[in-house]
Structure 1
Amino acid sequence: MEVRLDVLLAILGMALVTYASRAGGYAVLRAVRAPDWVQVLLRHLPGCLFMAYVAPPLLAGGPGAWAGAAVVVAVQLATRNLGIAILSGIAAVWGLAWLAG
């Protein structure tokens, strides 16, 4: 395997920028108290981001995707374990695809 210097430098640069942006945000929020509306926004942001990732494929996925999503919700409510819920949803989608042939 050949390691290209330009690719390695690009990867290291992207890693550095990613780390700096995350660490910078933590540093700023430690030094300055964010207004209440920013704190509320930050508390709800992970759910919004999750929906932004999930909604388009779910809408384009058809009945199998909706069935998998229903299984995820049901298992999550029953077990309160997100890992098991996601794996159950994947198994449901695969099982329906296998049954459909």
Structure 2
Amino acid sequence: MSTTNALLVVLAMALVTYATRAGGIFLVGFVPMSARTENFLRYLAGAVLVALVVPATVRGGPEGYVAVGVAILARLVLRKALPAIALGILAAALWRGYMGVS
């Protein structure tokens, strides 16, 4: 795949992601907000993240377990999700580099 095609694919993915988020925000405006609905929406992102991370961790082997462990510890210490995820990714990369996994 050429660089131009790759950039077009990334741009298309970004537009679809934005449309999905904007559409979701628009549609939620029509939903009556009960306490139950608010709780559902509040915890939805975390549930989706877990649904993506757990299978990847199980398939990932040792570096997946290291990445998730570091990310969990970093989240507990830093209280911020994005740096914790970044540290988990870094830990997996360092583990793979140290263990010689390609």
What is the TM-score with the length of structure 1 in the denominator?
Answer: 0.66
3-state SS of the aligned residue for 2:54? helix
Which letter does structure 2 place at the counterpart of 1:86? I
* Alignment partner, residue 5 of structure 1: none
3-state SS of the aligned residue for 1:96? helix
* Alignment partner, residue 6 of structure 1: none
| Pairwise CA RMSD | 2.9
* Alignment partner, residue 80 of structure 2: 81
* Alignment partner, residue 65 of structure 2: 66
The number of aligned residues is 89
Which letter does structure 2 place at the counterpart of 1:84? P
Long gaps (5+) in structure 1: 1-10
What is the TM-score with the length of structure 2 in the denominator?
Answer: 0.65
Long gaps (5+) in structure 2: 1-11
* Alignment partner, residue 30 of structure 1: 29
* Alignment partner, residue 51 of structure 1: 50
Which letter does structure 2 place at the counterpart of 1:53? L
Q: Distance in 1 between matches of 2:39 and 2:53?
A: 22
Deviates more, 1:57-66 or 1:28-37: 28-37
